[in-house]
Structure 1
Amino acid sequence: MAMTLSSPAFTHEGVIPARHACDGADLSPPLVFSGVPAGTASLALVCDDPDAPGGVWDHFLLYNLSPATPGLPEGLPEAARHPDGSLSGRNSWGRLGYGGPCPPRGIHRYFFTLYALNTMLDLPPGATKAEALRAAKGHILASATLMGRYGRP
């Protein structure tokens, strides 16, 4: 069974509701994980926008999630370290936690990518996406992607 990432808030390639964007409550969307492969030691989640005017914009990074985690609730609190032991990375705004879609204009694509890793990442809270992906290199067992769209006039 392939690993999957989904959300009850929006479908793959669907529209991300405003409550999960800067125009609304800016809450992280609920996410559901399934099919995590045997041998997974941790999960990492990235959300980024490749359509940002200055290049890829990182909206969310969470790592060292337990492979038993069935998903994430809506509105994950901003914290460096979460009660389950997972760690928050730094987004492109320089903040920990989730920063929702906020395109300057037009419709952008937001890619949520879940990685199954055969190791825990030896990184402190506040690592960047580049640091996390560098540490994950050679340790990725599987990945799953959920893409949503959000636009502003």
Structure 2
Amino acid sequence: MSENTFTVTSNATPDGTEVAPQQLVENLGGQNLSPDLTWSGAPEGTRSFAVTLFDPDAPTGSGFWHWIAWDIPATTTSLPLGVPREEPSLQQGVNDFGNRGYDGPEPPAGPPHRYTFTVHALPVETLGVDPDGPHIRARFAIFSQQLASTSLTAHYQVTN
């Protein structure tokens, strides 16, 4: 078995830290900007990447999807701070807020929530998924085909 060398980092929101204020939604004082993400060590056969942001602690019974992006070219090894909702170099699905692209944390008051940013290495150049369709289709295509994935997790808590 080979050592997993596929890794992801973020200057804005490093693994294990609190989500940076700029990543939060506006009504929590944020700018609703996706964090910068940089990855390396993708496995052989990677032809594209996908990125997801998931909150497993949302009180929905099934978590909350904040971002689903795919068809990121295999030559790409990073995304900048603040990926636009209509970025032409990738596809972005409609998140659980009902918006295309990234929407940051907005947990209810209570215990901390975990936010898991994952980069998925895929063996296809395109998922062939309609970004206007339910994001479960993109997530199914991502998770059922991924060659490898790497994640970082940050947290955020509203205390009032």
Of residues 76, 89, 102, the one that matches 2:106 is: 102
Of all paired residues, the percent bearing the same amino acid is: 36
| Distance (Å, rounded) in 2 between the aligned partners of 1:127 and 1:112 | 22
Match for residue 11 of structure 2?
A: 8
Deviations 1:7-30 (A, max 9, x none): 001221111111110121111111
Q: Which amino acid aligns with 2:78?
A: G
How many residues align? The count is 150
Q: CA deviation at 1:144?
A: 0.2
Alignment of 1:4-153 (within 5 A): 4-22=7-25, 23=28, 24-55=30-61, 56-79=63-86, 82-84=87-89, 86-106=90-110, 107-119=112-124, 120-153=126-159
Local SS of the residue matching 1:29: coil
Q: CA deviation at 1:137?
A: 4.7
Q: What TM-score results when the alignment is normalised by the length of structure 1?
A: 0.91
Is contact 1:46-1:129 (8 Å) kept? no
Q: CA deviation at 1:129?
A: 3.7
| Distance (Å, rounded) in 2 between the aligned partners of 1:101 and 1:19 | 10
The answer to which of 138-147 and 119-128 deviates more is 119-128
Unaligned runs of 5+ in 2: none
Higher fraction of strand: 1
| Distance (Å, rounded) in 2 between the aligned partners of 1:144 and 1:132 | 18
Deviations 1:21-70 (A, max 9, x none): 01211111111111112211110111010100113101001001011112
RMSD: 1.4
Unaligned runs of 5+ in 1: none
Q: Which amino acid aligns with 2:88?
A: P
